[in-house]
């Protein structure tokens, strides 16, 4: 087969497997390499020290696999309908980001990509090597996806597809196959700044720039220590992740909903009782996060986040106050700090 025929075959198989879109990128150094180093030096990665490792691999995809020529890039939607919370729910429950509610996308997409590669091997006469990545390796995924024409990187630094929006999981198969690269698509954000304006913690120093150390998703999922008090109030009722900059995006308002059955399964509800999370025990944590990406945040982090959300809740009842009083004696310093802050500065 010619490179064009192999490319058409790979994309067609990807779509048949359930990916919303697929494209091809060359395995050449990223044009954002200099900015990425500046971003790290500015401390915008917060406590995510792993982003400082394997810089050469992150910035040069060809080094991820000997003889690599192409990257097959795919996207899978996780867009769900949102149900407005009642007044009671706003007082007593915490919100979770859409991406964590279904089955663990790492496992789902890895299996889909491995199946794609096997079907390619069944159809192609030439042998080839490939390596699969789904948010787990030293890969600048959004840059590769943008290079493959899957969308453009929006002002909130997420990949945006004109038809599908930004609620997208990304994955790649770096391969020795010679495939035809796709052309990048034009930036369609225009003058819109809704995502930047809506961020409660001012995590965007400028358009197309994210200070992750201020992002609610980072604070609730990635940051292991105490959350700085300056962000507590702005976190509102988010207990795992944040979707605000996506919720306000015009492209997401008209984007189709996800259809993959494992991704749309309801493993973790849209809202969780905050008091239950604050008192979350080990077995309950395992049942809550089993088979999902929710275990990215440890049990004490879910509880820490719940204490902050409870501190932001209006009209707390006696039971909620008692839960915070208990948490003020907790052995975990991050939970204790959050509970003390929730009850007021006079308790610290």
Per DSSP, the three-state class of 274 is helix
Instruction: Identify whether the C-beta of residue 148 lies closer than 8 Å to the C-beta of residue 25.
Output: yes
In angstroms, what CA-CA distances link 347 with 63, 87, 199, 225, 328? Answer: 54, 28, 30, 20, 9
Q: Tell me phi and psi for residue 74, to 5 degrees.
A: -135, 160
Q: At what angle do helices 282-289 and 299-312 cross, to 10 degrees?
A: 90
What is the spatial distance between Cα 222 and Cα 202, in angstroms, rounded to a whole number?
18
Residues in the chain: 348
Structure tokens at 222: 């990635």
CA-based nearest residue to 214, from 234, 189, 240, 193:
234
In angstroms, what CA-CA distances link 311 with 65, 89, 203, 224, 319? Answer: 49, 15, 22, 19, 13
Per DSSP, the three-state class of 289 is helix
- Round to the nearest angstrom and report the end-to-end CA distance of the chain: 70
Q: At what angle do helices 333-343 and 318-327 cross, to 10 degrees?
A: 140
Query: Angle at Cα 89 formed by Cα 82 and Cα 330, nearest 5°?
Result: 115
What is the spatial distance between Cα 76 and Cα 64, in angstroms, rounded to a whole number?
23
- Reply yes or no on whether 315 is catalytic: no
Choice among 104, 122, 135, 197 that is catalytic? 135
In the chain, at which residue ranges do the beta strands (DSSP E only) sit? 21-26, 70-77, 93-96, 130-133, 152-153, 159-160, 168-175, 238-240, 271-273
Which residues are catalytic, by number?
135
């Amino acid at each position: 087969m010619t490179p064009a025929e192999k490319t058409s075959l790979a994309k067609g198989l990807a779509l048949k497997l359930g990916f919303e879109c697929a494209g091809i990128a060359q395995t050449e150094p990223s044009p954002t390499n200099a900015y990425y180093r500046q971003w790290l030096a500015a401390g915008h990665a917060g406590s995510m020290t792993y982003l400082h490792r394997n810089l050469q691999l992150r910035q040069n995809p060809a080094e991820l696999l000997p003889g690599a020529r192409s990257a097959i890039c795919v996207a899978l939607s996780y867009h769900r309908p949102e149900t407005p919370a009642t007044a009671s729910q706003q007082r007593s429950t915490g919100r979770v980001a859409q991406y964590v509610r279904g089955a663990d996308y790492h496992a789902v997409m890895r299996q889909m990509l491995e199946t794609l590669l096997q079907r390619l091997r069944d159809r192609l006469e030439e042998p080839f090597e490939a390596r699969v990545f789904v948010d787990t390796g030293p890969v600048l995924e959004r840059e590769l996806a943008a290079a493959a024409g899957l969308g453009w990187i929006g002002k909130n630094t997420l990949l945006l597809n004109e038809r599908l929006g930004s609620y997208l999981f990304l994955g790649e198969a770096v391969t020795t196959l010679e495939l035809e690269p796709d052309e990048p698509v034009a930036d369609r954000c225009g003058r819109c700044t809704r995502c930047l304006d809506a961020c409660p913690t001012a995590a965007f120093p400028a358009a197309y720039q994210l200070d992750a150390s201020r992002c609610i998703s980072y604070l609730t999922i990635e940051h292991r220590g105490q959350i700085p008090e300056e962000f507590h109030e702005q976190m509102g009722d988010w207990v795992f992740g944040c979707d605000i900059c996506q919720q306000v995006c015009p492209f997401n308002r008209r984007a189709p909903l996800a259809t993959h059955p494992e991704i749309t399964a309801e493993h973790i509800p849209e809202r969780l009782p905050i008091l239950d999370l604050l008192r979350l025990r080990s077995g309950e944590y395992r049942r809550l996060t089993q088979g999902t990406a929710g275990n990215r945040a440890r049990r004490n982090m879910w509880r820490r986040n719940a204490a902050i959300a409870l501190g932001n809740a209006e009209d707390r009842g006696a039971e909620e106050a008692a839960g915070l009083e208990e948490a003020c004696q907790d052995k975990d310093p991050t939970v204790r700090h959050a509970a003390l802050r929730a009850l007021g500065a006079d308790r610290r």
